[in-house]
Amino acid sequence: MKHYVGESLDDYLSKIEKDEIVMTTDDASKLTFNLLSAVAAVHSANVIHRDIKPENIIINDQLEVRLCDFSAARVISEDYSSFEPPYCEEKRKETAKDLTANRPQRKKR
Q: Give catalytic residue positions.
A: 51
Is residue 78 within 8 Å of residue 49, measured between CB atoms?
no
Is residue 50 within 8 Å of residue 74, measured between CB atoms?
yes
Output b/e per residue, 27-61; b: 16+ Cβ within 10 A. eeebbeebbeebbeebeeeebbbeebeeebbbbee
Q: Distance between CA atoms of 99 and 72, rounded to whole angstroms?
A: 21
